[in-house]
Amino acid sequence: MRLYPETPYDYAAAAGGLLFTAGACPLDEEGNVVEGGLEAQAHAAVENLIAVLEREGSSRDHIVKTTVYVVTQDRGELVRAWRIVEERLTPARPPSTLVGVSVSGYPGQLFEIEAVASA
């Protein structure tokens, strides 16, 4: 998936041999939040994260940590979101923090993931 070119921030920055990503959001090529609920958004955001890593010369296999944000107060929703992340980032399965939050940056956004990877 091509990343939305008009995002008003950098998708990644490198420092000290590491690549730090901004939160990958579930945006489509036109900058709209993907419809279809939590699972669809989790898939889209993880794909956007992988695209950023690859564009910057890294890959999902080089992730050393992720942080996952899910708009929910329900632990079951956190588990549903985590299963998608785990499935897509296997076999690497880096250390991760999984957090339920009350609001995200885009209207209707339910999921976001950021990573630190070796460059």
Quote the CA–CA distance of 74 and 62 in Å, as a whole number: 30
The whole-angstrom separation of Cα 109 and Cα 28 is 12
Contact 58, 16 (CB under 8 A): no
Return the domain boundaries, the chain: 12-118
Q: Rounded to a whole number, what is the distance in angstroms from the first to the last CA of the chain? A: 21
Q: Residue 85 in contact with residue 92, Cβ under 8 Å?
A: no
Tens-digit pLDDT profile for the chain (119 aa)? 447 677 777 889 999 999 999 999 999 988 999 999 999 999 999 999 999 999 999 999 999 999 999 999 999 999 999 999 999 987 767 899 999 999 999 999 999 999 999 98
**CATH architecture for segment(s) 12-118:** 2-Layer Sandwich (3.30)
Each residue's pLDDT tens digit, 80-89: 999 999 999 8
Could you give the CA distance from residue 7 to residue 51 in angstroms, rounded to a whole number? 15
**Cβ-based neighbours of 32, under 8 Å, separated by 6 or more:** none
pTM over cut 0.85: yes
